Structure 1
Amino acid sequence: MASSHSHTHSNHGHDDGGHSHSHSPPPEQTYGSQSLYEYIQHDQIWTLNECEPNQGRDIIKPWNERFDTTKYLESDADEQLIMHIPFTGSMKIYSILIRSGSDDHAPKTIKLFKNRSDVDFSIATDLKADEIVEHAPGTSEIVEYSLKRAIFSNVKSLNLFVLDNYGEDTTTITYIGFKGEYKKLSKDPIITIYEAAANPADHKNLVPEEHFVSEFND
C-alpha cells in the first residue's frame, strides 16, 4: 500500500543561482569501470515522498540490471522526491546516470547537494544547489550528466532533489547510477611514544618525559 503523507513547499519556480546545467558543458569521458555502485551504503539510502518503502534503494542498481523496469521509484503525494545516498568513503563523482520513462512522469529539474543529511523539502527548495541537472525529456535511454569535478571531489553523501517533472502528478525513475573515483583516505595516525634520555632505572620513581609524534601516510 502506498504511504499516506503530504509535504508542503514553496512554488515550483526555481533559480539556479548562477549554476550552469550539467547538460550544457561538453561531457568529460567516463568509463564503465568507474561505477561507484560498490561504494554506496545501500542500506542507509533514504527517500522522502516515495510511494512504497525502499523504492529509492531499489533504483540504485548494478550495471547489469540497469534496464530492469520491475524495480522503480515513484513519488507519492506529488511530483517531488528527495533521495539521500551515503558512500563508504570520500568520492570523486564525475557523473550521474539517470533512466526514466519517456512520458511526462520523467523528472525534469534535479538539484544536487553534497555532504548534507538535513535536507527536507523546505530546505531543498530554498538552498543553493551544488549542481542542477535538467533531465532530457522524451527518452527511455540512460542519460549521463557530467558534474563539476572541482565541486564533487570530496563527497561522502549526496542528496538528489527532484523539483518537478514534465507535467504528471507523480514522478517515476527506473535507474540512478554514478561514475567517479574512490578517494583513498590517509591511514589512521600512528602514535609513537619515546623517551628523552631514557634510563630503565628511572622508571622506579619518575614518570618519563613523553613526546607524541603523528606520522601520516599519504
Structure 2
Amino acid sequence: MSGNHCCDHECEGHQSINNTEDLGVLYSLYTRIDSDRIECLNEAVEGSGRLVFKPWDQRLNFEQFVESDCDEELLFKIPFTGNVKLKGLIVIGGEDESHPSRIRLYKNRPNMNFDDVNVEADQEFETMRDMNGTLEYIIKIVKFSSVHHLTIHIPKNFGNETTKVYYIGLRGEFTATQREAVLIANYELAPNPAECKTDIKDTVPQQIH
C-alpha cells in the first residue's frame, strides 16, 4: 500500500471530503457522458465498465462493478456529449488488494488502446483505498479545461491479479457544443405533433347539409 496518508487534511493531489451533502450535485457529470459509447478494455464482463459511472447516491451499490480480465489493467474510454472542464475525480475500488493504486488520465484521445498508454499521461497520481467515496483527486483544470473525451488508464492495483472498480465520479463544468446547442434550440422551436393535429382538425371547414 502507498506510503502516502491522507486524513482530514489536504495533501498533494488529494483532499479528504468532510461534507458530502452537496456531492450529489457536484458529481453529476455522469449525466453528460455518452453512456452508449463508453468502452472499457480488458473488462471481464462485457458492458460492465459503463456501470461504474452512476449517480452519487448509488456509489455504494456494490452489486454493480467492473473487474479486469487477464491482468490488473483497465482502460476506460469516456466520450462526453459536449465540452467539460474537469476538476475532480473519485474512485471506489475493491476493499482488498484489487483496489486501483494508480490512475492515469488522457484527454481527447478517443482511439487509445493498451499499445498507446506508454505515452506520457496528461495527469497521473497514486491512489489510496477508498470504500466510501470520501477521497477526491484534484484534476489540473489548466490541462483539462476543454475535454470532449477522457481516457482513464488503471495500470495496477495493490497486489491482486485483477482490479475491481465500483464507482468513478467526475466533477466539473459542462458546456454544450455548438451542434448540441443548435439541436436543443431546434427541438424547443419545433411544434408538438399532437398540437399540430389538433390545430389541423380544428381548422377543417364544416359542411352544412
The TM-score range, normalised by the shorter chain, is 0.7 to 0.9
Say if 1:105 and 1:28 are closer, same or farther in 2 by CA, change over 3 A.
closer
Q: Which residue of 2 aligns with 1:155?
A: 147
TM-score by length of 2: 0.73
Q: Which has the larger radius of gyration?
A: 1
Say if 1:134 and 1:92 are closer, same or farther in 2 by CA, change over 3 A.
same
More helix by share: 2
Q: Which residue of 2 aligns with 1:201?
A: none
User: 1-side partners of 2:165 and 2:103: how far apart?
Assistant: 12
The alignment status of 1:108 with 2:108, answered yes or no, reads: no
Whether the aligned pair in 2 keeps the contact of 1:84 and 1:160 (CA below 8 Å) is yes
**CA deviation profile, 1:43-89 (whole Å, cap 9, x unmatched):** 11001100001110011111221110000010001010101011000
User: 2-side partners of 1:61 and 1:80: how far apart?
Assistant: 21
Whether the aligned pair in 1 keeps the contact of 2:89 and 2:168 (CA below 8 Å) is yes
Q: Which residue of 2 aligns with 1:24?
A: 12
RMSD (Å) for aligned C-alpha atoms: 2.2
Structure 1 unmatched ranges of 5 or more = 1-21, 189-218
- Secondary structure of 2:151's match? strand
Counterpart amino acid of residue 55 in structure 1: S
User: 2-side partners of 1:107 and 1:117: how far apart?
Assistant: 22
Structure 2 unmatched ranges of 5 or more = 1-9, 183-209
**CA deviation profile, 1:125-157 (whole Å, cap 9, x unmatched):** x110011021103x4121311100111100001
Counterpart amino acid of residue 148 in structure 2: K
Q: Which residue of 2 aligns with 1:140?
A: 131
TM-score by length of 1: 0.70
User: 1-side partners of 2:164 and 2:85: how far apart?
Assistant: 27
Say if 1:87 and 1:123 are closer, same or farther in 2 by CA, change over 3 A.
same
> 1:68-217 to 2 correspondence within 5 Å?
68-124=61-117, 126-137=118-129, 139-142=130-133, 143-186=135-178
Q: Percent identity over the alignment?
A: 34
Q: Which residue of 1 aligns with 2:33?
A: 40
Higher mean alpha-carbon deviation, 161-170 vs 22-31, is at: 22-31
**CA deviation profile, 1:92-131 (whole Å, cap 9, x unmatched):** 110111111221001111110010112111211x110011
